[in-house]
Structure 1
Amino acid sequence: MTSSNHSGAHGAVIADTAAGGEAGALVELRNAGKSYGNIRALHGVSLTVHPGRVTCVLGDNGAGKSTLIKIVSGLHQHTEGEFFVDGLPVRFSTPREALDKGIATVYQDLATVPLMPVWRNFFLGSEMTKGAWPLRRLDIERMKRTADEELRNMGIVLDDLEQPIGTLSGGQRQCVAIARAVYFGARVLILDEPTAALGVKQSGVVLKYIAAARERGLGVIFITHNPHHAYMVGDHFSVLRLGTMELTASRDRVSLEELTNHMAGGTELAALKHELSQVRGVDVDRLPEEKDLTAPVAAPGEGTS
């Protein structure tokens, strides 16, 4: 497979792309876009998700991350480009169709009921039952046992599954949601800003279980605005800006500094530096120059990160 570098919509280097896509991809978007009437929310976005890899999608507010999630999860249909699952073209009408293909999304609100026990939230909407109708009833013991086993398989040990899930920390709730998605057959796991409202320690807990999901062979799409969190677990990085792809590169072709600069918007930071230089008391001497902020991503062997 050959790869090439070319300029993106904002002058950034697009690395690691190949005509015709990559073999073995679970999910692939090719030049996908979404328009709402005359408003183009997403345009020309290509994304590939492989099993056992974490694909990080970064971008500021309004960059198009939410629209991308909605297309992959089946909430909205793309209006341009192509969408493939297991190499076959698809056009989901509902999130259920995406879930049937093994694409699960864990949103920021986690879709949990805070006052319900952990085990009940684990099976919320998909409860196990026993007995024949009309005497069918919930199989509570089996659900508790299964929830405990699955959480332990992900490395999550809770002392009491009867405690309301709302009493868990934000990081623990995220991890329960991840384990639930894995148990119900997710092959592609979309995580919507899982560390956005968490502190440093709890963010570390979530990142640990993202890595655990990768080790179990899932393809993970990690949506975030934090390049430091992304770089800790990511295998491939895609930066969105104003609905287009600012950068796409594998881990060995982009440094954390380069990722952060592309995420922030190099030319905008250079302009900001110029403005700040006019303000008394602001030291801008150590801020990077525009040429540093927009430097292309070096291919392997062409320089160090």
Structure 2
Amino acid sequence: MTTANGTDESVPADAAPGPDRPVVELRGAGKSYGNIRALHGVDLAVHPGKVTCVLGDNGAGKSTLIKIVSGLHQHTEGEVLVDGEPVRFTTPREALDRGIATVYQDLATVPLMPVWRNFFLGSEMTKGPWPVRRLDIPRMKRTADEELRNMGIVLDDLEQPIGTLSGGQRQCVAIARAVYFGARVLILDEPTAALGVKQSGVVLKYIAAARDRGLGVIFITHNPHHAYMVGDHFSVLRLGTLELSAERSEISLEELTNHMAGGAELAALKHELAQVRGVDVEELPEADELQAPVKASTAPPEGTP
């Protein structure tokens, strides 16, 4: 792991997750705001080298899930485990110290600053003795260029304001920055939501690159087509609960799209919709066709010692 001052800090051997051990795991996790239950009974496991896609419509609970894992909010029910150890983050810094980095839609960048300054924003490299330490600009430029190239991002001029880059390029810089600063789990908050087809493809390419480098990725999206391109596991939230949890081999793109689009509700209303002119109910799936596998909670049943 590379720390903010540029030094290497390896993850202890006993804390490093194996291929079958999740880095981050939620067991029956939930969050209530007073009498409002925003999330309830959610199970989620994030493994190294895999992309876990969390899908859901507006109000499904995706943002609450992000806030719990990233340390912005605390869960009020269930458990959150990191490397098998129960945790309760009180700040995002605590989550970041455990290798959990979040890239939000606003990317936390300063548009008028150069690319290399944004890469090290808040964690600048310095040189010289105290109290006359100064920014180590050549080293920051060199490091930023190397890390971006390692992710397959080649920029002709790191001095250009990051605001002049395309939306997809800015997303990729944010991803490379999180990887460099030691992220083991990368949470991406709808990175393709405001992008066109080509730029979305660029971002998906770098999500796959992060996975290939051994990171566990949580890809938050409402686009099942984007999710299916890079996803290894799919979790669909609806009204704060987990409606679907399935491996890629267990579900097709069509089934995932039906769940995401509320196919179960449409199937239940098939008879009523048949009375409406202009609605082709023959294309709607039957309710029993939408029964996809849902993983059982790994928590022991109540009453178990």
The answer as to 2:160 corresponding to 1:159 is no
Correspondence for 2:291: 295
| 2:273–2:281 CA contact under 8 A, matched in 1 | yes
Of 245, 249, 253 in structure 2, the residue corresponding to residue 252 of structure 1 is 249
SS of the counterpart of 2:245?
A: strand
| 1:235–1:251 CA contact under 8 A, matched in 2 | yes
Correspondence for 1:11: none
Post-superposition Cα deviations, 1:62-91, rounded to whole Å, max 9, x if no partner, equal 000000000000000000001110111100
Correspondence for 1:207: 204
CA–CA distance in structure 2, aligned partners of residues 276 and 194 of structure 1: 35
Correspondence for 1:115: 112
SS of the counterpart of 1:111?
A: coil
CA–CA distance in structure 2, aligned partners of residues 282 and 50 of structure 1: 42
Structure 2 unaligned regions, length at least 5:
1-18, 296-305
SS of the counterpart of 2:282?
A: coil
1:146/1:298 Cα in 2 relative to 1: closer, same or farther (>3 Å)? closer
CA–CA distance in structure 1, aligned partners of residues 77 and 294 of structure 2: 31
Name whichever of 152-161 and 268-277 sits farther off: 268-277
Of 119, 125, 130 in structure 2, the residue corresponding to residue 128 of structure 1 is 125
Name whichever of 59-68 and 283-292 sits farther off: 283-292
- Paired AA for residue 223 in structure 2: N
- Paired AA for residue 53 in structure 1: K
1:105/1:34 Cα in 2 relative to 1: closer, same or farther (>3 Å)? same
| 2:245–2:293 CA contact under 8 A, matched in 1 | no
User: CA RMSD of the aligned region, Å?
Assistant: 1.7
| 1:103–1:186 CA contact under 8 A, matched in 2 | yes
Q: Structure 2 matches for 1:161-180, cutoff 5 A?
A: 161-180=158-177
The answer as to 2:45 corresponding to 1:48 is yes
CA–CA distance in structure 2, aligned partners of residues 285 and 104 of structure 1: 45
State the aligned residue count: 277
CA–CA distance in structure 1, aligned partners of residues 132 and 244 of structure 2: 57
Normalising by structure 2, we get a TM-score of 0.87
Normalising by structure 1, we get a TM-score of 0.87
CA–CA distance in structure 2, aligned partners of residues 152 and 31 of structure 1: 40
- Paired AA for residue 29 in structure 1: L
Structure 1 unaligned regions, length at least 5:
1-21, 300-305
| 2:246–2:292 CA contact under 8 A, matched in 1 | no
Of 55, 68, 76 in structure 2, the residue corresponding to residue 71 of structure 1 is 68
Post-superposition Cα deviations, 1:98-145, rounded to whole Å, max 9, x if no partner, equal 000000000000000001000000000000111112221111111000
Post-superposition Cα deviations, 1:143-193, rounded to whole Å, max 9, x if no partner, equal 000000000000000011011101100000000000000000000000000
CA–CA distance in structure 1, aligned partners of residues 78 and 285 of structure 2: 37
Correspondence for 1:277: 274
Of 62, 65, 85 in structure 1, the residue corresponding to residue 82 of structure 2 is 85
CA–CA distance in structure 1, aligned partners of residues 214 and 134 of structure 2: 34
SS of the counterpart of 1:76?
A: coil
Correspondence for 1:16: none
| 2:251–2:292 CA contact under 8 A, matched in 1 | no
Report the alpha carbon displacement of residue 277 of structure 1 after superposing the two structures with TM.
Answer: 3.5
| 2:51–2:232 CA contact under 8 A, matched in 1 | yes
SS of the counterpart of 2:31?
A: strand
CA–CA distance in structure 2, aligned partners of residues 234 and 280 of structure 1: 38
CA–CA distance in structure 1, aligned partners of residues 227 and 292 of structure 2: 20
| 1:52–1:215 CA contact under 8 A, matched in 2 | yes
| 1:258–1:297 CA contact under 8 A, matched in 2 | no
| 1:253–1:298 CA contact under 8 A, matched in 2 | no
